[in-house]
Amino acid sequence: MLILVVNAGSSSLKYQVRDTAAPEAEQVLTVGLIENIGTDIPDHDAALEIMAAKLEEVLDGRELEAVGHRVVHGGEEFTQPVLLNDAVTAHIEELSSLAPLHNPANVKGIRAAFHKWPHLPQVAVFDTAFHATMPEHAWRYAIPEELYKQYGIRRYGFHGTSHEYVTHVGAELLGIPVDEFNAVVAHLGNGASATAVKGGKSIDTSMGYTPLAGLIMGTRSGDIDPSVLTTILQRDESIDAARLDTILNKESGLLALAGSNDMRKVVEAAQAGDERAQLALDMTAYRVASYIGAYNVAVGGAQAIIFTAGIGENSGDFRKLVLDRLGALGVKYNAEENMVRSPEPRVISTEDSAVKVLVIPTNEEKAIAEATEALATK
Ligand code: ADP
């Protein structure tokens, strides 16, 4: 099936066309990015026209058969991919208060695609959905119940499509049925999260109500004592809630600690003797290792630790910093194998390691295309 995968942001639109019937290596027909929506390009409809013109050249007469959309927030309602219609799209729009930066843009992308291709089946795949299986003791916050009831304040978790995809690939690689597979997944990109996977399902994850919680990220602080925030707001009148939100989301993390949110640069700086960069790496790796330890308990003993996304897949230096802290779990890894870069899923632990360590390239577009095909052909 020829499927267009769309990831619509507020000012940009990423897309990929995949042929799910083609051999693995030939599934991607084209990838693209349209930027400056809202400035150079008036709106998402205009962006879609530009994309459609580009697709016409590449597809050479072949017709798209379905569209799959990445949607950030599915709230408590959407726990599976869903076939889109006007009512479902309106429902996704209603969840905008939970993801004010993302859902409105996702909805614009969906509506623009329906204007352009009204006859095509379209599917939404949610970043939160994989985490719908978390037990309440993991997703509730210890705050007054009205705040949950009124505002939906609870842990939702994100990066679900990626966590689910690498869980399945990891189980297959080890020859374990996925519903018997216990793992801790570390998705380490610009945004980063860890997930506790038991029997192939998410039972806890480090991101929370928003993608700010948990690990130290490129520009996000991750976990922080909430009274730090009230203290800043009370002490510094020049900082209001919106400014604080920007500081924590865009000016913190590796950027604040080491002056760059690019892991390659931070590693290079540390290797050249920059002490700030080394501290940033130590803090970031320590946080990842701590979550892995905690989630190893949550899943009742993991069979595997999975590294994925930009840093998790590519930075042997960063993986080493994490793995060297996991000796108490009986983790042993092959130092040379750890430094190899490869596009293939692989095992980097030694035979006698108590837990397997896997490096698995994520592929959210592939997962979205497969989910889209499954619903579009139903
Ligand atoms: P996003 O969350 O934006 O999708 P990615 O998954 O692309 O992020 O990850 C981006 C991060 O991956 C950056 O910190 C980048 O420095 C890091 N990265 C990419 N390639 C390498 C590499 N070869 N070595 C170390 N870090 C890398």
Structure tokens at 176: 């374990």
**What DSSP state is assigned to residue 25?**
G
Span 224-232, average pLDDT: 97
- Let me know the angle formed at the C-alpha of 40 by 34 and 42, rounded to the nearest 5 degrees: 85
The CA 77 to ligand 1 mean position distance, Å, reads 32
**Residue 320 near ligand 1, beta carbon < 6 Å:** no
Q: Which pLDDT band, with edges at 50, 70 and 90, does 233 fall under? A: very high
Closest by CA to 54, choosing from 24, 13, 7, 19, is 13
**Residue 309 near ligand 1, beta carbon < 6 Å:** yes
- Let me know the angle formed at the C-alpha of 110 by 104 and 113, rounded to the nearest 5 degrees: 140
For the chain, the average pLDDT equals 97
pLDDT for residue 372? 98
The CA 152 to ligand 1 mean position distance, Å, reads 32
Q: How many CA atoms lie within 13 A of 278 on its CB side?
A: 6
pLDDT at 101 over 90: no
Q: Which pLDDT band, with edges at 50, 70 and 90, does 6 fall under? A: very high
Residues 83-96: pLDDT tens digits?
A: 999 999 999 999 99
Place of tokens 């997930």: 195
> Going by CA atoms, what residue is nearest to atom 19 of ligand 1?
310
Q: Which helix (H) or strand (E) holds 217?
A: none
Which of ligand 1's atoms lies nearest the C-alpha of 187? 6
Q: What DSSP assignment string belongs to 298-325?
A: HTTS-SEEEEEHHHHHH-HHHHHHHHTT
pLDDT for residue 316? 98
pLDDT for residue 100? 86
pLDDT for residue 378? 86
pLDDT at 335 over 90: yes
Residues 359-376: pLDDT tens digits?
A: 999 999 999 999 999 999
Active-site annotation holds for 262: no
- Let me know the angle formed at the C-alpha of 97 by 92 and 98, rounded to the nearest 5 degrees: 80
Span 44-72, average pLDDT: 94
Residues 279-330: pLDDT tens digits?
A: 999 999 999 999 999 999 999 999 999 999 999 999 999 999 999 999 999 9
- CB within 8 Å of 359: residues ≥ 6 apart: 306, 307, 308, 312, 313, 319, 342, 345, 346, 348
Which of ligand 1's atoms lies nearest the C-alpha of 263? 16
The CA 323 to ligand 1 mean position distance, Å, reads 18
